[in-house]
Structure 1
Amino acid sequence: MTTRRGFLGTVSAVGAATLLMETQAATGASAATGAASATDEKAARDAIRNVNAGMRANYASLKSELTKHLSPVVVVQNNAVGGRFTLIDKGVQVETVDPVPEYFELAKSIAHVPLGVYSVIAAYLSDKVPNIANSERIDPHDLDMVAFKPAGDTGWITPLTGFRSTLATARTKLPTANLPADLAASSDKILTEAIKFIDTAVGAKSFDMVAFNQFAATVYPSIRVNMTAAATAQITGIEALMKRWRARIGEQAWSDLYVMVLSIWTTAELNQASIIIRRTMNQAKVNTHLIDLPTAETPADPIGVALENLARIVQDNVAAEMVFNAALDVADALKGKEDLLSKEILQQIGGTAPAHTASFGAAAAGTCPITGRTATA
């Protein structure tokens, strides 16, 4: 006999089962729809990414072909002997020259003596900023990282003694190096004072930054003499080479000359080769055709790196005017070092661009492009 309770229970059970099956069906359909939707979305996004991939492939192809047509170009590799210069004309490497007289390298070699001593002792310095002139310019955190050896460690004695031997040999041989008299005298002073500092430190088995600072200050006037000699050698050698190459390829071609100067990042500002070369170029184009290319380290293929970057610059110069001819500020960004999104980002975050470094003209007049300070004698 079916009771009301039993009947209602049966009905409820059937209803629950029906509801469960309907829910499972709906869930399955939803999951299938969701899976399909996710697959479609990924496919759509991949298709969008393929647009950029295609652009990059076409861009790279153009750049690869363009490198064969870049002309005329001078590639400058900064090195220890004043620079290696390569002339490329009509896609052919015409000549590679180290044009700077040898005494450039010799003058700088001796001028680097204090840096050589510092490089040995730096890790053994006290990690406290000493009471020396302009000590506020030393970043305490930087000093703490450089002075990583424990107090009392005398591991510096052996390498510093070895460097002393190198200095002593150079001082002994100096009179027969046939250097100009003022360069020979300044070099002797630097070597003599460095040996004296080393002997005192090794004898006492200790040193401090104050003593090193005094040594460096003593030899600085002599370092200036060496710097003057090196600068004269570099100017003379580079200008003579550029004059010869200018006559070789002719005035019309020279007026369109591109110069790519490769340097380590730390010497990219007011690079010495760039300063000299710009005077020999077409002054109407020098600001766009003399290109300083800082690198993290000297590339294995400097000519290839220079031409690859120049090809990018040249094709972007034309692309900027063709693609963004309705927005000249964006065109200028593509033609220069500015990222195309930089202004948009600055606008959205309410920021302003950092001040640009001073122009070459201001820097050449004696103003440091980084600090804005005027050089003093």
Structure 2
Amino acid sequence: MVTRRGFIDGMSAAGAATLFGVTPSASATTRAGAAVADAELTARDAIRATNVGMRASYAALKSELISRLSPVIVVQNDATGGEFTLIHGASPQESVTPVPELFELAKSISHVPQGIFSTIAAYLSDKVPNLPNAGRIDPHDLDMVAFEGPGAAGWISPLQGYAATLTTARRQLGEANLPRELEISCQKILDEALTFIRDSVRSGTFDMASFEKFSGKTYPSIRTNMKYAAAAQISGVEGLMRKWRGTVGDEAWKDLYTVVLSIWTTSELNQASIIVRRCMNPAKVDTHLIDLPTVEVPRDPIFVALDNLARIVQDRVSAEMVFPTDPVVADAFKGKEDLLSVEILHQLGATAGAPAAFPSAAASACPVRRETAQPAVALSPDAVRR
């Protein structure tokens, strides 16, 4: 039974005063408003606390899982062909740089044209040059890179410094004991580079026409260098995979995870991933070979790899158990997309791979177009993973 006292106590001060014909004071109204605001903040903090609790549980599971992941190979790409680390149960981690030195030597000389371009790029004209691929050059990108312009001469000194480095390499090339074909191709690249630098410094100018002529002369030799680098990497990585498969055993090898860390620009069709893929269980390679782009080389690549792998593994399991009746949402949860991605695509009237265009200035200020007749976006699991 609700008593009069209980009824009044359950009301706000302002509400009670109004009910009984008393005009509430300003201070009473302020206090009442503050109480409502405090209650709202408390309630919202309570809502947030549910997510804090979830994240704590998620982190605890991930931390435990990291120590149990096995067998795992972590590949940290670098200039030598990559450092490979095997993690297998309670056995000590084994780290190996398996690629022969020829890989690094062949690639080093192949990078010379890029070294020259990086030195002079800021001093190019910001006008798209008349090149065969001119239509593929974004004018704004070019404007960002060519920030000094052709009028400045700051490129001369660093280019001369690079020429000194190239001269030393050219002088000692014959003593490096390279295969004859590779030595000849390296010699060609270095000679053409030194000629371009000499002519550019003497004239005090350069343009994309002269650089294109130089790079075109080096390209066949660069292809030769790439042939030797690829052969060296394949032999080194495949040899290591055979050795580690023997260490792990065929049965455990079937469940091997491999995480390949690389910078974004080499994260697709990554050279190490291509080779490792051939050595893994074909039935699981699509889910157990993880290409992980990084902003820069991590300080602790093993932890970064295992931390991300643990997230992937536990999300795959939880997705199928938390959302057992909705495979599309489950695939989004355990894939690269945010779980909200399907709903956002639906509200934007878009489909996977073809997002709705942002409205022009003349269009509505709100980019979300709601259409009641619009069916839910049906994404295949493969489309959601991409």
TM-score by length of 1: 0.86
Amino acid of the residue matched to residue 102 of structure 1? E
Aligned length: 336
Listed as ranges, the gaps of 5+ residues in structure 2 are: 1-17, 356-386
Distance 1:254 1:56 in 2: 32
Distance (Å, rounded) in 2 between the aligned partners of 1:130 and 1:326: 56
Query: Aligned partner of 1:217: which letter?
Result: G
Question: SS where residue 263 of structure 1 aligns?
Answer: strand
The residue aligned with 1:136 is: 135
Q: Deviations 1:212-236 (Å, cap 9, x if unpaired)?
A: 0110111101000001110110000
CA distance in 2, matches of 1:169, 1:249: 46
Deviation at 1:153, TM superposition (A): 1.2
Closer, same or farther in 2 for the Cα pair 1:167/1:240, shift >3 Å?
Answer: same
Greater mean alpha carbon deviation, residues 136-145 or residues 245-254: 136-145
Q: Which residue of structure 1 lines up, in the alignment, with residue 281 of structure 2?
A: 282
| 1:202-217 to 2 correspondences below 5 Å | 202-217=201-216
Task: Give the distance between the partners of 1:29 and 1:180, measured in 2 at CA.
Answer: 92
Q: Which residue in the other structure is 1:360 paired with?
A: none
Counterpart code for 1:30: T
Contact 1:120 1:156 in 2 (8 A): yes
What is the distance in 2 between the residues matched to 1:48 and 1:178? 68
Partner of 1:11: none
> Aligned pair in 2 of structure 1 residues 250, 355: CA closer, same or farther (>3 Å)?
farther
Aligned to 2:106: 107
CA separation in 1, counterparts of 2:150 and 2:70?
58
Counterpart of 1:79?
A: 78
Aligned equivalents of 2:352, 2:92: Cα separation in 1: 40
**1:178 aligns to 2:177 (yes or no):** yes
SS of alignment partner, residue 226 of structure 1 = helix
2:196 maps to: 197
Amino acid at match of 1:177: A
SS in structure 2 at match of 1:297: coil
State the percentage of identical aligned residues.
62
Q: In structure 2, what is the equivalent of residue 230 of structure 1?
A: 229
Cα distance, 1:250 vs structure 2: 0.2
Q: Which residue of 1 aligns with 2:308?
A: 309
Cα deviation code 1:319-344 (max 9, x no counterpart): 11211112111111122112111001
| CA positional deviation for 1:151 | 3.5
Determine the C-alpha separation between the residues in 1 that align with 2:331 and 2:89: 28
Cα displacement string for residues 141-181 of structure 1 (whole angstroms, at most 9, x for unaligned residues): 11111111144211111110111111111111111111111
Per-residue displacement from partner, 1:12-52 (whole Å, max 9, x unpaired)?
xxxxxxx9xx7752554433322111111110000000000
Does the CA-based 8 Å contact 1:71-1:91 persist in structure 2? no
Measured in 2, the distance between the counterparts of 1:314 and 1:152 equals 55
Whether contact under 8 Å (1:120, 1:159) holds in the other structure is yes
Checking the alignment, whether the CA contact within 8 Å between 2:329 and 2:342 is kept in structure 1 is no
Q: Which moved more, 1:167-176 or 1:236-245?
A: 167-176
Q: Does 1:327 align with 2:326?
A: yes
How far apart in 2 are the matches of 1:337 and 1:160? 43
- Point out where structure 1 has 5 or more consecutive residues left out of the alignment: 1-18, 357-377
Q: Call closer, same or farther: CA 1:284–1:355 in 2, change over 3 Å.
A: farther
Question: Shift in Å at residue 91 of structure 1?
Answer: 4.8
- Structure 1 letter corresponding to 2:348: I
- Map residues 1-377 of structure 1 onto 2, 5 A cutoff: 25=24, 27-354=26-353
**Aligned-partner SS, 2:93:** strand
1:92 and 1:309 map into 2 onto residues whose CA distance is: 21
Q: Offset of 1:280 from its aligned partner?
A: 0.2
Q: 1:218 to 1:23 in 2, by over 3 A?
A: farther
For the residue of structure 2 that corresponds to 1:25, the secondary structure is coil
Deviations 1:250-308 (A, max 9, x none): 00110000000000011101100000000000000000000000011111000000000
Amino acid at match of 2:49: N
Deviations 1:176-220 (A, max 9, x none): 111111111100000000000000001111111110011011110
Distance 2:281 2:343 in 1: 35
Deviation at 1:93, TM superposition (A): 4.0
Please tell me whether the aligned partners of residues 74 and 305 of structure 2 are also in contact (alpha carbons under 8 angstroms).
yes
* Alignment RMSD (CA, Å): 1.6
- Indicate the structure (1 or 2) with the bigger Cα radius of gyration: 1
- 1:206 partner SS: coil
Residues 324, 330 of structure 2: 8 Å contact kept: yes
Using a 3 Å threshold, how does the CA distance of structure 1 residues 229 and 351 change in structure 2: closer, same or farther? same
2: CA distance between counterparts of 1:203 and 1:240? 50
Q: Cα 1:23–1:120, aligned 2, differ >3 Å: closer, same or farther?
A: farther
Checking the alignment, whether the CA contact within 8 Å between 1:107 and 1:226 is kept in structure 2 is yes
**Following the alignment from structure 1 to structure 2, what is the Cα–Cα distance between the partners of residues 237 and 218?**
31
Distance in 1, Cα, partners of 2:78 & 2:105: 13
